[in-house]
Structure 1
């Protein structure tokens, strides 16, 4: 999934003080609050995880939810809201209590509300834009082998289905930048683009553009940083292999995609790649990126039963070793919030 970046949050107002002795105007400057948190979901553990990356010794806190199998993490620290797509219950679920559980070292998150069950089946990703939540439905027998995007409106107490779109490709990860939705076409090395996504009427929709990433076997994870114009994709390769996964970084992405025709190919020359046994990448199913620290966070589903891998942003293609690996059984999605 994903990364959301906010400019440094400025707390307080610029106050001008006046001394009784000399009546000199004294500026009182606001303080700056930094925030960097990483959250994940799992397909197997019935847990979500939370890590404060700015702590002197970051520790991962695991918290119990009602869904054993979940995907698509999103966390809003200002409201202490954790949203995910439950694959156990086939619905969106919103939890609260993450911050208090971490602060008090308890395991006490609570389900506040959910979407109506059965509006989708086999969800793989979510993306939140203001009060909209977009869900991807991956085809399976239970949903009639139908790939979909579903758009929900979130209020303080409910999720309401606004739009449902059927797709002509097998879907997994998505990223939304403004009104443009980027998605991967599962079982291929393709990225698809939908301009003015939210203006579509219900029903079948087709991409504005579809391009192939040269050398990429099977895409899953996708994230885009507008700040530095950088796209990052994951390659799971063969689902059964624990050594053929990879990361692909495309710098200057807006120009690269604009200069690639519909149906065209993004060449290897436009990519920086991490592949090889040192990388521990077998089935990297999701990715997040911090453009302040230039760190890449990967949900690696296969190796060691699931782990979150941290990489430095590569400047050249290599078999890079992760800077850090944290065991997280069944990890299925990763989300970064940076303020």
Structure 2
């Protein structure tokens, strides 16, 4: 997951989530060292890793975009969000099993720092986190089932304030979770180990406990879903397919234009056919295990976190107009990359 990308999970860091937090909640930060005003236009890509203990930041509007890496408190992180108004990174720590916030990214860039200090975190509530999604002051963590959590897939809903995260609700679901994306109060989730996309309407209205999907559909030709991002600005859904987890060459991307119309025309437990998809698959794509995607509705670029091919790469694709074995416009090595988040304003 994952936008203000808008959600390749890729680069964009490369899923969607909303950036409409009330600025009155901002914790005052020290003035940037050079006190340069925040640019009126921004396009930033942020990524996480499950091996390096670092996040990366790239200013995509720079003359020569260059990734800058910062060490954090978690070796293994998955799911990331950037709040430009608070200058705050929010991520799910798989190392510490908590949500973590890191303030002061802008100052760290200006001062050429190499570390971001932890500002605050949630309590330790979940295990095996796979993604986060953000809407307003709500942060949702997807817990993927495994032996360590009694094979229970669950959403954890937190409220974020100026100094911490408060657990509001937990929702148990009957699917194996991975990628998630919030569009307002609608939660889109993939059902891992399947070809399915699941929708939960009025997500935050649920009481703690087991919840049921509003709709579940199968994506024809997709082997195993992972990454997901949705752009309401142009009604585009992007999904990633990791195929066989052990293969570094069988991954792909699925783009669905006019998504809400296609979804509404598809019956519950029905199938979105290939003729409603644009597909990027093949050896030229360098897609093996694309675990997250991000999308920019202005340039229509797709950013991908490719976890397996080359040990981890961030890829950028032009928006496909037809199904093909497309060559990435950009690729860079990033060990263990797990999530991409794109912020545009």
The TM-score normalised by the length of structure 2 is 0.90
Q: 2:69 aligns with which of 40, 47, 62?
A: 62
Q: CA deviation at 1:76?
A: 1.2
Matches within 5 A, 1:125-144: 125-144=131-150
Separation in 1, partners of 2:115, 2:129? 25
1:292 is matched with 298
Q: CA deviation at 1:292?
A: 0.5
1:206 is matched with 212
Matches within 5 A, 1:59-208: 59-117=66-124, 119-208=125-214
Q: CA deviation at 1:276?
A: 0.2
- Work out which structure has the larger RCO, using CA pairs closer than 8 Å and 6 or more positions apart in sequence: 2
**Contact 2:305/2:313 (8 A) holds in 1:** yes
Separation in 2, partners of 1:218, 1:53? 30
**Contact 1:72/1:332 (8 A) holds in 2:** yes
**Contact 1:278/1:319 (8 A) holds in 2:** yes
Structure 2: any 5+ residue segments left out of the alignment?
Answer: 7-37
Say whether residues 1:320 and 2:329 are aligned partners: no
Question: Deviations 1:84-103 (Å, cap 9, x if unpaired)?
Answer: 00000000000123211211
Question: Deviations 1:112-154 (Å, cap 9, x if unpaired)?
Answer: 111111x111000001111100000000111000000110001
- Secondary structure at the aligned position of 1:100 is classed as helix
Q: CA deviation at 1:5?
A: 5.9
**Contact 1:98/1:108 (8 A) holds in 2:** no
1:47 is matched with 54
Classify 1:40/1:5 alpha carbon distance in 2 versus 1 (closer, same or farther; 3 Å). Answer: closer
2:284 is matched with 278
Matches within 5 A, 1:299-318: 299-318=305-324
The TM-score normalised by the length of structure 1 is 0.91
Separation in 2, partners of 1:302, 1:247? 15
Q: CA deviation at 1:221?
A: 0.3
Q: CA deviation at 1:33?
A: 1.3
Say whether residues 1:329 and 2:335 are aligned partners: yes
Classify 1:5/1:310 alpha carbon distance in 2 versus 1 (closer, same or farther; 3 Å). Answer: closer
Question: Deviations 1:242-283 (Å, cap 9, x if unpaired)?
Answer: 110000000000100000000000000000000000000000
Say whether residues 1:225 and 2:216 are aligned partners: no
Instruction: Return the index of the structure with the highest Cα Rg.
Output: 1
Q: CA deviation at 1:326?
A: 1.1
Q: CA deviation at 1:46?
A: 0.0
Question: Deviations 1:72-93 (Å, cap 9, x if unpaired)?
Answer: 0111122110000000000000
Q: 1:261 aligns with which of 234, 252, 267?
A: 267
- Which is strand-richer, 1 or 2? 1
Separation in 2, partners of 1:219, 1:232? 11
Q: CA deviation at 1:32?
A: 8.0
**Contact 1:305/1:330 (8 A) holds in 2:** yes
User: What is the RMSD computed on CA atoms of the aligned residues?
Assistant: 1.2
Provide runs of 4+ in structure 1 moved above 2 Å.
Answer: none
Q: CA deviation at 1:178?
A: 1.6
Separation in 2, partners of 1:97, 1:158? 16
Q: 1:216 aligns with which of 222, 226, 229?
A: 222
**Contact 1:97/1:108 (8 A) holds in 2:** no
Pairs aligned (count)? 314
